[in-house]
Amino acid sequence: MKLIGAIRKRKWRTLSNLEPRTRALCEVAERLSATPTRMMAQDWEPLRKLGFDDEALLEVAHVVGIFNYLTRLADGFGLQLDSAVEEAARTGVALKRQPSSLARRVASPSRPERNSAKRL
């Protein structure tokens, strides 16, 4: 949890106990998020030296890219976290998973299926 707080405050570099793998991943994630057009082959070298091959680097890029994409979408639509999610983020206590509506429909198939998607 200390790392997450440091990332949020953009002070993760000050953490002296970061493993080389975590430090290299943070470096790449930050650079790929902030200045993707300036990424160079040498920006990936710390991960390559740790054993990341091309496929692993692509996976890192996908995770970083998807996170950035979803964050921008949420920001663009003005989505806000509900109080339970904010509390979990603040305390570090995980949310309890609720059965999805699909799981409830499968459990009780006599219930008529409804399309709950809303159009913009």
Give the domain CATH number at 78.
1.20.1290.10
Q: What are the tens digits of pLDDT across the range 17-39?
A: 999 999 999 999 999 999 999 99
In a domain, 74, yes or no: yes
Report the number of distinct structural domains present in the chain.
1
pLDDT greater than 70 at residue 67? yes
Residue 119 lies in a domain: no
Cα–Cα nearest to 116, from 106, 102, 103: 102
Tokens coding 83: 């109080």
- Diameter of the chain by CA atoms? 59
Instruction: For the chain, give the percent of residues with pLDDT over 90.
Output: 57
Give the contacts of 76 (CB within 8 A, at least 6 positions apart).
none
- Domain presence at residue 30: yes
Whether pTM exceeds 0.75: no
Q: Is the residue at 31 inside a domain? A: yes
DSSP conformation letters of 21-38? HHHHHHHHHHHHHH-GGG
- What pLDDT score was predicted for residue 2? 85
The pLDDT score that the predictor gives to residue 101 is: 65
Phi-psi region of 10 (alpha: psi -120 to 50; beta: other; left: phi over 0): left
Is residue 117, in this structure, part of any structural domain at all? no
User: Which range of residues forms the domain containing residue 37?
Assistant: 2-82
The answer as to whether 46 is a domain residue is yes
- Quick: pLDDT tens for 76-99: 999 988 898 889 888 888 888 877
Stated as kind and residue range, the H or E segment containing 64 is: helix 54-76
Residue 57 forms part of a structural domain: yes
